Amino acid sequence: MTGSLAVIGLGPGDQRYLTAEAEAALSAAQALYGYAPYLDRVPPRAGQSRHASDNREERARADAALRHAAQGGRVAVVSGGDPGVFAMAAAVCEAIETGPESWRALDVTVIPGITAMLAVAARIGAPLGHDFCALSLSDNLKPWALIEQRLDAAAGAGFVIALYNPVSRARPWQFGAAVERLRRHLPPATPVVFGRCVARADEHVSVTTLDAADAEKADMATLVIVGSRETRVIARPGRTALVYTPRAAAEVSA
């Protein structure tokens, strides 16, 4: 008997963004592995074991889940958002590549979810309505110079930029440094969206400008979207503004 491993995207926040496929995969699993707050979102099921671990232990969690699957279990790893975007699917692939050969025989599936940038963008209009990129500001696993190079390239070429992991307790200055870097390329009035805890009770989405962006609160639960030169804000009387990037782009920037 060969086991299986499903890497499941829960989407952001509560159950409203769970897909039918993710729901089916959760109910089929004999064992769930995940970061504790993500596991807490999944209602308990009889006969299903739960294995919580800490945020930083992605590789150890992947190894443990794969060992369990290799013993014949139907195992699931749960991930917030989409498991393929700065989350568990890459850690599982790393473990499969470098682990015992038997792991390469396992039935592995990845089940996509709504990633944070899509949820935040939806809340405020369509800031990702044209070409965009997703960039993690964590320099735990890459040099800061590479992050700067990518900020320069993306802003210089007119991509809207979704910033994941803008700040953590161990990385207090990176977000401010990124904002400063982006000011070299983009006008002060460029719209910036802060989306915190989207689809949770304490959800907070706000719009500011690039020249004021570093004064805004960002934390580990925040996703930041920095517009391009084309991104626009529509003021609406009595309603929150809409932010969007038009489908057409006319200019080649310098």
In whole angstroms, the minimum distance from the beta carbon of 149 to its own copies comes to 5
What is the C-alpha end-to-end distance of the chain, expressed in Å?
A: 60
Q: In this structure, are residues 22 and 111 in contact, taking their beta carbons and an 8 Å threshold?
A: yes
DSSP letter string, 58-115: HHHHHHHHHHHHHTT-EEEEEESB-TTSSSHHHHHHHHHHHS-GGGGGSEEEEE----
In whole angstroms, the minimum distance from the beta carbon of 244 to its own copies comes to 4
Q: Is residue 157 near its own copies by the rule CB under 8 A?
A: yes
Taking the least distance from each CB to its own copies, the nearer of 47 and 143 is: 143
Taking the least distance from each CB to its own copies, the nearer of 16 and 217 is: 16
Q: Is residue 21 near its own copies by the rule CB under 8 A?
A: yes
- Measured CA to CA in angstroms, residue 178 lies from 140, 157, 199, 254 at distances of 15, 16, 26, 21
Report how many residues bind its own copies under the rule CB under 8 A: 84
The Cα–Cα gap between 94 and 59 comes to: 8
Q: In this structure, are residues 24 and 68 in contact, taking their beta carbons and an 8 Å threshold?
A: no
Q: Which of 29, 69, 118, 193 forms a contact with its own copies (CB under 8 A)?
A: 118
Q: Is residue 38 near its own copies by the rule CB under 8 A?
A: no
Q: Is residue 150 near its own copies by the rule CB under 8 A?
A: yes
Q: Which of 34, 80, 112, 227 forms a contact with its own copies (CB under 8 A)?
A: 112
Binding mask 130-149 for its own copies (x = CB under 8 A): xxxxxxx----xxx-xx--x
- Measured CA to CA in angstroms, residue 59 lies from 34, 220, 247 at distances of 11, 20, 39
Stretch that binds its own copies, among 12-20, 43-51, 169-177, 213-221 (CB under 8 A): 12-20
Site for its own copies, residues 69 to 108, rule: CB under 8 A:
82-86, 89-94, 96-97, 104-105, 107-108
In whole angstroms, the minimum distance from the beta carbon of 2 to its own copies comes to 10
